[in-house]
Amino acid sequence: MPNKRKRYDEEFKRRAVRLSYGSERTVREVSESLGIHENVLFLMIEEVSEKTIHLAAMIHSLSWQASHQSFCSEEFVSAHTPEMQKKYLRKIINDGAIIYMLISKGKPVGIISVNKSLIENLYILPSEQHNGYGTTLLKHAISKCEGKPTLWVLNNNSAIGFYEKHGFTATGNVHRLSYDLTEIEFYLHTSCVGLIDHI
């Protein structure tokens, strides 16, 4: 009986958060109308569904454009619209990935995907960065991995330090994308998994 109650509570929270998407009402107003504490809507992670994939695509588009504009052509960057990214996200879901979305104060702020042990698509809205959301999503993704967590990072990406801080180590495997651009594979050593919660 307690387990059934817990599942109901989690689903109720998700519905409450979805009610706040795009709403002009404040978090307090939404929570009061539902008879719940406003903290319920402050921070939670939910699996992206067809109903919410447009929100994940918007986050992906804005964040991808911001992170690639310094080394990709303007035409290439602008082509990554929310509609294009929605198609991409649908494709990786069809290929077995699960996309998770972080909601803060009732608003979607970041996403990450997991496919077995592969972590990808960690994107936080540019306006919401440096609030610890990336760490929150990364920890969640690690907990969902079926095996040793792995990921790929561009060699010119400042996020390399972020992943190293959280226990990831380069494996030595690389994908060359162009003359001066490569992807580097990282993995999380099993001895570091238990330490993640203390970071």
The whole-number pLDDT of residue 184 equals 95
Rounded CA gap, 191 and 168, in Å? 11
Judge if 55 and 122 occupy the same domain: yes
**Burial of residue 197 (number of CB atoms within 10 Å: 0-12, 13-18, 19+):** exposed
Domain assignment present for 169: yes
User: Phi and psi for 92 in degrees, rounded to 5?
Assistant: -70, -30
The whole-number pLDDT of residue 158 equals 80
User: Phi and psi for 149 in degrees, rounded to 5?
Assistant: -60, 130
Pairwise pLDDT comparison (27 vs 76), residue with the higher score: 76
Is residue 7 over pLDDT 80? no
Domain assignment present for 90: yes
Judge if 54 and 119 occupy the same domain: yes
Judge if 27 and 53 occupy the same domain: no
SS3 125: coil
Judge if 27 and 37 occupy the same domain: yes
Q: Contact at 8 Å (CB) between 65 and 77? A: yes
Q: Which of 98, 127, 156 is the last residue of a domain?
A: 127
* Model confidence band, residue 185 (pLDDT cutoffs 50, 70, 90): very high
* DSSP-assigned letter for residue 40: G
Domain assignment present for 171: yes
Domain assignment present for 1: yes
Judge if 46 and 109 occupy the same domain: yes
SS3 47: strand
Judge if 49 and 122 occupy the same domain: yes
Judge if 56 and 104 occupy the same domain: yes
Residue length of the chain = 199
Judge if 63 and 35 occupy the same domain: no
CATH of the domain at 122: 3.40.630.30
Domain assignment present for 140: no
Judge if 36 and 48 occupy the same domain: no
96-152 pLDDT, tens digit per residue, is 999 999 998 778 999 999 999 999 999 999 999 998 999 999 999 999 999 999 999
Is residue 178 over pLDDT 70? yes
Q: What pTM was estimated for this model as a whole?
A: 0.78
Judge if 123 and 53 occupy the same domain: yes
Is residue 88 over pLDDT 80? yes
Domain assignment present for 135: no
12-64 pLDDT, tens digit per residue, is 555 555 555 555 666 566 656 666 555 555 678 999 999 999 999 999 999 99
Judge if 47 and 113 occupy the same domain: yes
The whole-number pLDDT of residue 151 equals 97
Judge if 103 and 119 occupy the same domain: yes
The whole-number pLDDT of residue 56 equals 98
Is residue 6 over pLDDT 50? no
**Residue 21 structural domain:** 1-41
Domain assignment present for 141: no
* CA atoms within 13 A of residue 129's CA, in its CB half-sphere: 13
Number of structural domains in the chain = 3
Domain assignment present for 139: no
Is residue 73 over pLDDT 80? yes
Identify the residue whose tokens are 């967590």. Answer: 149
The whole-number pLDDT of residue 13 equals 56
* DSSP-assigned letter for residue 145: -
